[in-house]
A and B are shown apart, each in its own frame.
Chain A
Amino acid sequence: EIVMTQSPATLSVSPGERATLSCRASQSVSSNLAWYQQKPGQAPRLLIYGASTRATGIPARFSGSGSGTEFTLTISSLQSEDFAVYYCQQYNNWPPGWTFGQGTKVEIK
């Protein structure tokens, strides 16, 4: 199983500031990496796929980068609606199966 490790677990950021979230894979997943946003009591929402392609309707302040084992999600200027938990997920091969990271909570500083 490919293990996805996200850091930090919690990120405290002021509105308007930049947030940088990291995701590391235990082995290469090429660019088969997605990012999701989840707010309390809600289902996750697709933000980024293919490591760097924004999903339909996602604002340009969200950007993804990386390939292989190291990935980054950047939120250029945090808005109030961006405070949430963010998950990365690899979809490189099945079997052994796709896996999620444990999440990064972005909270208001």
Chain B
Amino acid sequence: QITLKESGPTLVKPTQTLTLTCTFSGFSLSTSGVGVGWIRQPPGKALEWLALIYWDDDKRYSPSLKSRLTITKDTSKNQVVLTMTNMDPVDTATYYCAHLITMIVVVWGQGTLVTVSS
């Protein structure tokens, strides 16, 4: 069974850097075709892709957020880390990590709500 769980701060201040960790089980990020991605959803709004990383360390970023995002993986720990710099109140959202097979999001984590406020 594939599971993913997001962890990190629930509250960050404006201008701070957000670091989120996705810890997963039931698959390996060293298997060909497998990826882990990050998607966010502001309260009451639609979903937005942020970044993803594949088994071969291929990384993709949202063009509009690329300058603020970094995604890394630790295959031995079954973890993927997303950092987002210069947080703003508009970045308040539920952040999801997800398991991909090639380009298909197969399983989502439960999500974690991050609030940006002073």
Residues of chain A having any CB pair with chain B under 8 Å: 1, 32, 34, 36, 43-46, 49, 55, 87, 89, 91, 94-103
Contacts and interface: CB of A to CB of B under 8 A. Distances in A.
Contacts of B105: 34, 36, 46, 89
Per DSSP, chain B at the interface is strand
A87 B46 contact: yes
B103 A32 contact: yes
Contacts of B46: 87, 100-103
Nearest to B97: A43
A3 to B, nearest CB: 11
Given A87-B46, A98-B49, A101-B46, A43 B63 contact: no
B-side interface size class: 10 to 19
B99 to A, nearest CB: 10
Nearest to A42: B110
A95 B63 contact: yes
A43 B108 contact: yes
B71 to A, nearest CB: 13
B96 interface: yes
Nearest to B60: A94
B108 A100 contact: no
Interface string B29-58: 000000000000000001111001000000
A40 to B, nearest CB: 11
A34 B98 CA distance: 14
Most buried by A among B48, B62, B105, B110: B105
Contacts of A32: 103
A17 B81 CA distance: 44
A98 to B, nearest CB: 5
B90 interface: no
B117 to A, nearest CB: 22
Nearest to A45: B108
26 contacts: A1-B63, A34-B104, A34-B105, A36-B105, A43-B108, A43-B109, A44-B96, A45-B108, A46-B104, A46-B105, A87-B46, A87-B47, A89-B47, A91-B103, A94-B52, A95-B60, A95-B63, A96-B63, A97-B60, A97-B62, A98-B49, A100-B46, A100-B47, A100-B48, A101-B46, A103-B46
